[in-house]
A and B are shown apart, each in its own frame.
Chain A
Amino acid sequence: AQSVTQLGSHVSVSEGALVLLRCNYSSSVPPYLFWYVQYPNQGLQLLLKYTTGATLVKGINGFEAEFKKSETSFHLTKPSAHMSDAAEYFCAVSDGDSSYKLIFGSGTRLLVRP
């Protein structure tokens, strides 16, 4: 069965600092990988996705992620944090069966210090 592990339930960075949120997946087949962001009292918004092709994926709001098959990782990065990036971030994997349902990690809450 597929699974996703997000290391660190909370990550705190200073405004302007590098953001690194870690995600490792377990999959017996080539996975489809996603990062979603959830702002307080809102639904989930897709940041970026990896399906096939280029392993470095660029998303919205300056975020990007790199698919590393050898490390089974899909870490999310942003060169310079902004106060508005404070939110909860979820990594998800789709097992590619006919449903394409998402299996989520436990989430990482990003805190941005002024």
Chain B
Amino acid sequence: DSGVTQTPKHLITATGQRVTLRCSPRSGDLSVYWYQQSLDQGLQFLIQYYNGEERAKGNILERFSAQQFPDLHSELNLSSLELGDSALYFCASSVASDRRLYEQYFGPGTRLTVT
């Protein structure tokens, strides 16, 4: 158990819909990363938040957005869903210190199926 929690574990929805994925980082971790794992694209970085502020963006679609709240949990919002958005979405967290900044701990993921 990494200490990172993600809900829900599975999500099935229809095209055109909007969903919200939730992530709670490990206690004390200020940084949250979102990654997408799909069969055709592999594991891709989407976006990172650090202490409530967006730090970096990867190949994240405009239909997707995220935020990190004062209690440090994060939500990834996916809208106007398409079949191709079906994937496993991972959240990872990291301690913000020189010694541990590079190590990310991953949650169990949310499997999104768009029908």
Contact = CB atoms under 8 A, between A and B. Distances in A.
Interface residues of A, number: 23
A107 B43 contact: yes
A106 B2 contact: no
A83 B93 CA distance: 30
Given A99-B56, A103-B45, A107-B42, A49 B90 contact: no
A18 B54 CA distance: 43
Interface in A58-114: 90, 94, 97-107
B89 to A, nearest CB: 11
Interface stretch (B64-72, B76-84, B100-108): B100-108
A45 B102 contact: no
B57 to A, nearest CB: 9
Nearest to B43: A104
Interface of A: 32, 34, 36, 42-46, 49, 51, 90, 94, 97-107
Closest CB pairs A-B (n = 4): A99-B56, A104-B43, A43-B106, A44-B106
Contacts of B90: 43-44
Interface string B92-115: 101000000111111111000000
B2 A101 contact: no
A94 B56 contact: no
Contact of A43 (B45, B103, B107): B107
Contacts, number: 54
A101 B48 contact: yes
Nearest to A107: B42
A102 B106 CA distance: 12
Contacts of B44: 104
B42 A106 contact: yes
Interface string B51-75: 0000110100000000000000000
A102 B55 contact: no
Contacts of B94: 100
Contacts of B107: 43
A26 B106 CA distance: 24
A49 B102 contact: yes
